[in-house]
Amino acid sequence: MTEAETSAISRLRASEIMTKNVRTATREMSLRDVASMMRDGDMGAVPVVNDGKLIGIVTDRDIVVRGVADGKSSDTAIGEVMTTELFSVAPDDFVFEAIRLMGDKQVRRIPVVNADGSLAGIIAMADVALEMEDEKEIAETLEEISSGAAFWGKN
């Protein structure tokens, strides 16, 4: 990634690249229902909300590792397998902060949360990639986020 591209991305705000119309789940929904939602929406993660406030996120990996592999039934409430340790940014935060969190915390998605705790949107690695033009640089950046390498410190 060139210095100019890094600078341009770092000036963007989370609200400018986030997905705004995010399908959400409640902690009472079943593993089957959330898995079906993921399949039908072609998504790998679903934020879990309570009264509009973000309380967790469930990924396809959560369903497999904490659900299926642990012998839970498909009727198990998603609240039993969701991830509750959340890393988020605010809508006015710079995209750079979301990218930094992705790399530091080894996550592929960062919820965007308003000051009142309500979900505003979500930023996925693909959203970051769409802001870059060079396919090789996109691939390198996504690999660096996935591996935990800090691309903003590259020479």
Asked whether residue 36 is assigned to any structural domain, the reply reads yes
Instruction: Find out whether 34 and 78 touch, Cβ atoms under 8 Å.
Output: yes
Is the distance from CB of 61 to CB of 41 less than 8 angstroms?
no
The residues, ordered by sequence, that sit 6+ positions from 79 with a Cβ below 8 Å of its Cβ are 27, 28, 48, 56
* Nearest Cα to Cα of residue 152 among 82, 80, 99: 99
DSSP state of 108: S
The answer to whether residue 105 is domain-embedded is: yes
- Residue 155 in domain: no
Quick check: is 66 in a domain? yes
Instruction: Tell me the per-residue pLDDT of 12-51, one tens digit each, with 9 for 90 and over.
Output: 899 999 999 999 999 999 999 999 999 999 999 999 999 9
Distance in angstroms (rounded) separating the CA atoms of residues 104 and 50: 27
Overall domain count for the chain: 1
Q: Is residue 154 part of a domain?
A: no
What is the mean pLDDT of the segment spanning 83-98? 94
Q: Does some domain include residue 140?
A: yes
CATH of the domain at 112: 3.10.580.10
- The whole-angstrom separation of Cα 25 and Cα 105 is 23
Residue numbers of the domain that contains 94: 3-146
Which helix (H) or strand (E) segment is 46 a member of?
strand 45-50
Query: Using CA atoms, how far apart are residues 62 and 64, in angstroms rounded to an integer?
Result: 5
pLDDT band with cut points at 50, 70 and 90 for residue 103: confident
Q: Is 130 part of any domain?
A: yes
CB atoms within 10 A of CB 110: 29
Please tell me the pTM assigned to this model: 0.79
